[in-house]
Amino acid sequence: MENRYLSIDWRLDHPAIQREAFFGRFSFSAYDAVFIDPLEINRRWTREIGISPDGVRRIDANRDRGLSKTMTAWMGKRRAEAE
């Protein structure tokens, strides 16, 4: 049986590795290994969230242009896959 590999927002040039975006359609549980680029996840966060007066970035559903709702839905989807 052949192993299946998935790369999330990470350009890993290998024919056995399938690439997908962070909010992609593929289920992580369908793969033997998932590689996630930590820099790209951080960039998604910092582009959408401004810095508070105290220097901290916080998600506020009233001011984050939908990022918190999107993240909650996406993580819920991934959590359901694992159960």
At 57-73, the pLDDT tens digits run: 777 777 777 777 877 88
Among all chains, which residue has been given the structure tokens 């993240």? Answer: 71
Could you say which DSSP state residue 30 is in?
Answer: G
Residue 55, pLDDT score? 86
Query: 74 and 45 in contact (C-beta within 8 Å)?
Result: no
47-59 CB burial, b ≥16 within 10 A, e <16: ebbeeeeeeeeee
Of residues 39, 18, 16, the one with CA closest to residue 27: 18
Q: Alpha-carbon distance 30 to 81, whole Å?
A: 9
pLDDT reported for residue 59: 75
- Token pair belonging to 1: 């049986």
Q: What is the pLDDT of residue 6?
A: 92
Q: Could you give the 3-state DSSP secondary structure of residue 82?
A: helix
Q: What is the pLDDT of residue 60?
A: 75
Ranges under pLDDT 50 in the chain: none
Can you give the pLDDT at residue 82?
Answer: 67
Domain ranges, ordered by start, for the chain:
5-82
